[in-house]
């Protein structure tokens, strides 16, 4: 039973958003286009990024209307969560059962991923996006050409690997990754953020849907679909076969964990949800359920879409385009149906279980894990 806390004031939320360095702020920042915070974060980062003071001031004056939009968006997210709780609980139940059955293990050998020199590193990312066609390749290349990707960024909380700052007035953005090495782990975090860049430039900016995104359940789908595709690419092109396995397995572990927490929250006798997405119950549970839901669904769809891409890359892009274009118009149930999956099979994970199981077994064999 979910109770929505209607009392939560937008001021509290903004106060949280301004608290520098919190992951919550990062999400809020993206959604609000809160340019005051943005100004701070960019100043904090490096001298490489210079944004005209005038532009920032111009945007700041619109802040009031963003606040109003966002309150509505937060409420809409809570309603969507309430409407989809049975579906989410079922996915979580099946995932949990399946992971126990196959003795799923997070083979977290992230140190074993391959390293490259800077040029090869860049080439790997560019050639990966080239497989999607010119339109995608050009966007990605512009981020490299205009020096809009920064590694070794300090603006992170634990758990967050990368971060995308959309700047609609530049019709572009900036990408930050906390990792510093030119290896496939860093590449994967940049690929994920480039997915957000592509989503922004192809869908969010032109559709004027960049604000507010709080209630967008599909927010992480494009970035994760490109990210999961990258793991497959690392394997199929033999760029870093082990790395592809390890990184994908690590993401499956996150997926299982997120759904576990979603289920735990939704099974509470009484669950309080604040409008920023934080869930609380009497047993001391307290975490950002919204983050779990958008990432959990992102990975769940991402792995499903990557199965489609293996057999039919064109269909994959059509489906991704459809989901991104319709993100605010269709329900989660519609999205499952439109992507051509049988509802029951989608919920019980039939399409992705074989891949997860095989990857996990192969990893255990390669790294001699019992
Ligand atoms: Zn993301």
Strand partners, 273: 4, 279
Strands 286-288 and 278-281 turn out to be antiparallel
CA of 177 to the centre of ligand 1 (A): 12
CA of 299 to the centre of ligand 1 (A): 10
Mean pLDDT of all residues belonging to the chain: 79
CA of 295 to the centre of ligand 1 (A): 8
The whole-number pLDDT of residue 70 equals: 63
CA of 293 to the centre of ligand 1 (A): 12
Task: For residue 201, give the CATH number of its domain.
Answer: 1.10.1370
Q: Flag the least confident range among 40-49, 222-231, 257-266, 321-330.
A: 40-49
Measuring CA to CA, how many Å separate 281 from each of 91, 234, 278, 286?
22, 42, 10, 7
> Two tokens at 180?
């510093």
Range of the domain at 89: 2-366
Question: Do the beta carbons of residue 216 and residue 194 sit within 8 Å?
Answer: no
Determine phi and psi for 212, rounding to 5 degrees: -95, 155
pLDDT bracket for residue 221 (50, 70, 90): very high
Alpha carbon dihedral 254, 259, 265, 269, in 10-degree steps, equals: -150
CA of 28 to the centre of ligand 1 (A): 13
Tell me which of 277 and 250 has the higher pLDDT: 250
The whole-number pLDDT of residue 286 equals: 85
Question: Do the beta carbons of residue 317 and residue 59 sit within 8 Å?
Answer: no
CA of 269 to the centre of ligand 1 (A): 31
Mean local confidence (pLDDT), 41-53: 30
Question: Do the beta carbons of residue 242 and residue 186 sit within 8 Å?
Answer: no
Residues 6 or more apart whose CB falls under 8 angstroms from that of 145 comprise: none
What is the DSSP track for 256-280?
HHHHHHHHHHHTSSSEEE-TTSEEE
CA of 350 to the centre of ligand 1 (A): 25
pLDDT bracket for residue 169 (50, 70, 90): low
CA of 224 to the centre of ligand 1 (A): 7
Q: Rounded to an integer, what distance in angstroms lies between the CA atom of residue 237 and that of residue 240?
A: 8
Q: Rounded to an integer, what distance in angstroms lies between the CA atom of residue 210 and that of residue 33?
A: 9
List, in sequence order, every beta strand (DSSP E) within 110-218: 149-150, 162-167, 172-177
Q: If we measure between CA atoms, which residue out of 29, 3, 364, 72 comes closest to residue 176?
A: 29
What is the length of the chain?
A: 370
Measuring CA to CA, how many Å separate 347 from each of 184, 225, 330?
31, 18, 18
Question: Do the beta carbons of residue 231 and residue 302 sit within 8 Å?
Answer: no
Mean local confidence (pLDDT), 188-193: 95
Measuring CA to CA, how many Å separate 295 from each of 34, 218, 232, 257, 298?
22, 9, 19, 11, 5
Q: Flag the least confident range among 43-52, 115-124, 125-134, 195-204.
A: 43-52
Summarize pLDDT for 1-22 with one digit per residue, the tens. Answer: 333 333 332 333 334 333 333 3
List, in sequence order, every beta strand (DSSP E) within the chain: 2-4, 149-150, 162-167, 172-177, 271-273, 278-281, 286-288
CA of 136 to the centre of ligand 1 (A): 17
Strands of the sheet containing 162-167, edge to edge, are 149-150, 172-177, 162-167
Measuring CA to CA, how many Å separate 360 from each of 35, 143, 177, 235, 334?
43, 34, 27, 14, 31
The whole-number pLDDT of residue 68 equals: 53
Look at the chain and report how many structural domains it folds into: 1
pLDDT bracket for residue 208 (50, 70, 90): low
Q: Rounded to an integer, what distance in angstroms lies between the CA atom of residue 366 and that of residue 368?
A: 6
CA of 223 to the centre of ligand 1 (A): 6
CA of 193 to the centre of ligand 1 (A): 6
Question: Do the beta carbons of residue 209 and residue 222 sit within 8 Å?
Answer: no
The whole-number pLDDT of residue 190 equals: 95
Cα angle vertex 194, ends 58, 363, to 5°? 150
Measuring CA to CA, how many Å separate 141 from each of 121, 157, 198, 288, 352?
13, 28, 11, 34, 31
């Amino acid at each position: 039973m979910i109770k929505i806390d209607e009392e939560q004031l937008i001021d509290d939320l903004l106060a949280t958003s301004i608290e520098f360095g919190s992951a919550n702020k990062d999400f809020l920042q993206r959604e609000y286009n809160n340019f005051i915070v943005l100004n701070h974060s960019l100043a904090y980062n490096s001298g490489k990024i210079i944004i005209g003071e005038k532009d920032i001031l111009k945007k700041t004056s619109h802040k009031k209307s963003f606040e109003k939009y966002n309150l509505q968006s937060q409420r809409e997210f809570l309603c969507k969560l309430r409407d989809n709780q049975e579906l989410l609980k079922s996915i979580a139940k099946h995932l949990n059962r399946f992971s126990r059955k196959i003795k799923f293990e997070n083979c977290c050998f992230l140190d074993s991923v391959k390293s490259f020199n800077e040029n090869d590193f860049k080439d790997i990312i560019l050639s990966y996006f080239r497989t999607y066609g010119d339109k995608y390749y050009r966007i990605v290349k512009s981020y490299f050409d205009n020096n809009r990707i920064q590694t070794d960024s300090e603006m992170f909380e634990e758990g967050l690997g990368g971060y995308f700052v959309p700047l609609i007035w530049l019709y572009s953005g900036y990408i930050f990754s906390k990792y510093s090495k030119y290896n496939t782990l860093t590449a994967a975090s940049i690929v994920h953020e480039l997915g957000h860049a592509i989503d922004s430039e192809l869908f969010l900016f032109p559709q004027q849907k960049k604000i507010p995104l709080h209630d967008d359940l599909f927010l992480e789908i494009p970035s994760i679909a490109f990210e999961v595709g990258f793991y497959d690419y690392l394997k199929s092109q033999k760029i870093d076969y082990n790395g592809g396995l390890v990184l994908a397995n690590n993401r499956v572990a996150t997926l299982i964990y997120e759904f576990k927490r979603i289920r735990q929250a939704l099974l509470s006798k009484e669950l309080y949800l604040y409008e920023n997405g934080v869930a609380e119950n009497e047993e001391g549970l307290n975490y950002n359920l919204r983050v779990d839901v958008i990432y959990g669904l992102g990975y769940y769809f991402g792995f499903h879409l990557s199965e489609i891409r293996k057999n039919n890359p064109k269909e994959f892009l059509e489906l991704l385009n459809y989901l991104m274009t319709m993100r605010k118009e269709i329900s989660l149930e519609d999205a499952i149906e439109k992507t051509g999956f049988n509802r029951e099979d989608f919920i019980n994970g039939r399409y992705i279980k074989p891949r997860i199981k095989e990857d996990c077994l192969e990893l255990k064999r390669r790294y001699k894990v019992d």
